[in-house]
Amino acid sequence: MPKVELLYDDECPNVELARSNLRHAFALAGLAPSWVEHRIGAADAPADVRGYGSPTVLIDSADVAGAAPDTESCCRVYQVGGRMNKAPAAELIAQALRNSRALGTRR
């Protein structure tokens, strides 16, 4: 099972959309939904999740949209097909889940 993490800020208006897209993505990938959430800026957040904006979805520690962490935590938008989205699309997350599972079966 891939390690899935949702990074969020308490004041981000797009967190619920990200959660909804995560649930939908797990269904598309044929997996039971399971992820861990980390609040951006929390003292107990793991070091490897710092520097991402809200909302961010990591699968096996990689951003589903291919972004690298930065020095600032900020709001994020996602560009898909020339359109701006407020959270990573379910299809993008599902593809990352499928890719992770395929890699896991080859190891």
Per the DSSP assignment, residues forming a β-bridge with 83 are 80
Q: Which domain holds residue 92?
A: 4-106
Burial 83-98 (b: 16+ CB within 10 A, else e): eebbbbbbebbbbbbb
Position 6 pLDDT exceeds 70: yes
Helix (H) or strand (E) holding 22: helix 15-29
How many domains does the chain fold into? Answer: 1
Which pLDDT belongs to residue 106? 45
Stretch 77-82: mean pLDDT, rounded?
82
pLDDT of 17-67, one tens digit each?
A: 999 999 999 999 999 999 999 998 899 989 888 889 999 999 999 999 998
pLDDT of 79 over the 70 cut:
yes
pTM of the model: 0.90
